[in-house]
């Protein structure tokens, strides 16, 4: 059996999995499992994958890493299936995969990590778009979130390292790169924020056709980033917002730094500057103390802000977080509210997609005749043969079940 890497969770994990794939190249009969801890369900899936990997490959060397391993190393070290446990800093050390002997558990103090170590990745297995890490960690302490204890404090990569990585990926044939981090809009290196860094990156790599941002925090967006959103055609007209809720009291109890009104004002502003921009958001259903009236304000926000692409999570209490000690909404009600948010999101997405009928879109092919437009809408092309990574201009003819139907040619 050759090397296998299983990735759970965020785009940053996807990037780091490719770093590990490069470090462990030549390590046959090895399975690396890069875990996630954002919810209890994410951890359950990670543990399930570890057990499944051992049943499938009883003689393989199983290496477990990622946020779940960093936050709760004792739990994962106790699993007999695990041969080597690595923390989030240790997993990026090339020697960790080749060194024989030593401790079975290598998980250090993530809060002591002060820098982002640069790594150069040449490709992403099975993916048409590439990811570039620009930031890691988070200095905020939202009451529901365990991730800072898996990622450490905020730290950013220098522009020169980001540029070098992006050039390599563009030279490898990638036509879209996604900038990623744990708290992307907190990027700060040598006095340069996210907007200024992104502007400099686009200027330095003119051969890259498409650049996309992963999740951003509306409380941290500065004027330079707003200007880029408004005027840079190579920055994709799609933003995913870390909103989490639509009620001001819930947001306060979450320790978020924006209000319902500020979120709505941001959406209105970018939509006026970049007509047709697609907006998505993370939303948590059933946060502790959330009443039906509070929940309704999250529902209202979806329509008022025209949020087309939603990531909805029923609240998942994480050990040692303040929210886990607050009065809890019953699990069944959390799930029911999450379903209602998703239904509202589906209606909003349908309206957004139907408004694209007749427009010309640029489609990045992911497989067969399917891909994503510049707005991140899923597109299915009628006829033709295309390879993953191709950019195809197409005219939208219909919107069916959350997918744009289109014909190639402008």
Q: Name the band, by pLDDT with cuts 50, 70 and 90, for residue 109.
A: very high
Give residue-wise pLDDT tens across range 362-405: 999 999 899 999 999 999 999 888 999 999 999 999 999 999 99
List the structure tokens of 366: 């992911």
Percent of the chain with pLDDT over 70: 100
Spacing of C-alpha 307 from chain mean position? 17
Indicate whether 289 pLDDT > 80: yes
Spacing of C-alpha 272 from chain mean position? 26
Return the SS3 of 3: coil
Q: Name the band, by pLDDT with cuts 50, 70 and 90, for residue 235.
A: very high
Give residue-wise pLDDT tens across range 51-72: 999 999 999 999 999 999 999 9
Can you tell me the distance from the alpha carbon of 213 to that of 307, in angstroms, rounded to the nearest whole number? 16
Report the mean per-residue pLDDT for the chain: 95
Give residue-wise pLDDT tens across range 173-189: 999 999 999 999 999 99
pLDDT at 384: 84
pTM for this prediction: 0.93
Strands 61-66, 84-86: pairing is: parallel
Indicate whether 50 pLDDT > 80: yes
Indicate whether 410 pLDDT > 70: no
Indicate whether 135 pLDDT > 90: yes
Spacing of C-alpha 399 from chain mean position? 26
Q: Name the band, by pLDDT with cuts 50, 70 and 90, for residue 125.
A: confident
pLDDT at 343: 98
**Which stretches does DSSP call E strand in 170-247?**
176-180, 188-189, 192-193, 210-213, 238-244
């Amino acid at each position: 059996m050759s090397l296998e890497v299983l990735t759970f969770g965020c785009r940053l994990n996807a990037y780091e999995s490719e770093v590990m794939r490069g470090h462990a190249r030549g390590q046959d009969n090895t399975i690396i499992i890069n875990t996630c801890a954002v919810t209890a369900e994410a951890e359950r899936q990670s543990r399930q994958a570890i057990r499944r990997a051992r049943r499938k490959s009883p003689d393989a060397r199983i290496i477990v890493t990622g946020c779940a391993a960093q936050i709760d190393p004792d739990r994962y070290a106790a699993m007999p299936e695990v041969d080597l446990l690595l923390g989030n800093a240790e997993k990026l050390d090339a020697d960790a995969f080749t060194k024989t002997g030593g401790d079975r558990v290598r998980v250090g103090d993530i809060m002591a990590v002060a820098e982002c170590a640069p790594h150069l990745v040449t490709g992403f297995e099975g993916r048409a778009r590439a990811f570039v890490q620009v930031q890691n960690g988070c200095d905020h302490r939202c009451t529901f979130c365990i991730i800072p204890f898996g990622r450490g404090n905020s730290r950013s990569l220098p522009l020169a390292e980001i540029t070098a990585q992006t050039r390599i990926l563009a030279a490898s044939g990638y036509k879209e790169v996604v900038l990623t981090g744990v708290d992307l809009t907190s990027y700060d290196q040598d006095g340069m924020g996210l907007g200024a860094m992104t502007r400099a990156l686009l200027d330095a790599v003119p051969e890259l056709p498409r650049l996309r941002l992963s999740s951003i925090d509306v409380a941290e967006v500065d004027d330079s980033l707003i200007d880029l959103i408004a005027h840079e055609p190579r920055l994709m007209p799609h933003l995913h917002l870390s909103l989490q809720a639509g009620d001001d009291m819930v947001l306060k109890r979450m320790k978020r730094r924006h209000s319902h009104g500020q979120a709505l004002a941001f959406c209105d502003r970018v939509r006026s500057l970049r007509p047709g921009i697609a907006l998505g958001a993370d939303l948590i259903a059933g946060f502790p103390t959330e009443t039906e009236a509070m929940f309704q304000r999250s529902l209202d926000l979806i329509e008022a802000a025209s949020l087309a692409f939603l990531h909805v999570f029923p609240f998942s209490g994480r050990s040692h977080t303040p929210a886990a000690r607050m009065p809890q909404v019953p699990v069944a009600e959390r799930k029911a509210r999450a379903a209602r948010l998703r239904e509202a999101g589906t209606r909003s997405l349908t309206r957004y997609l139907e408004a694209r009928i007749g427009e010309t879109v640029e489609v990045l092919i992911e497989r067969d005749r399917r891909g994503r437009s510049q707005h991140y809408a899923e597109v299915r092309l009628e006829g033709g043969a295309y390879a993953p990574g191709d950019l195809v201009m197409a005219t939208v003819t219909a919107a069916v079940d959350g997918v744009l139907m289109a014909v190639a040619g402008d």
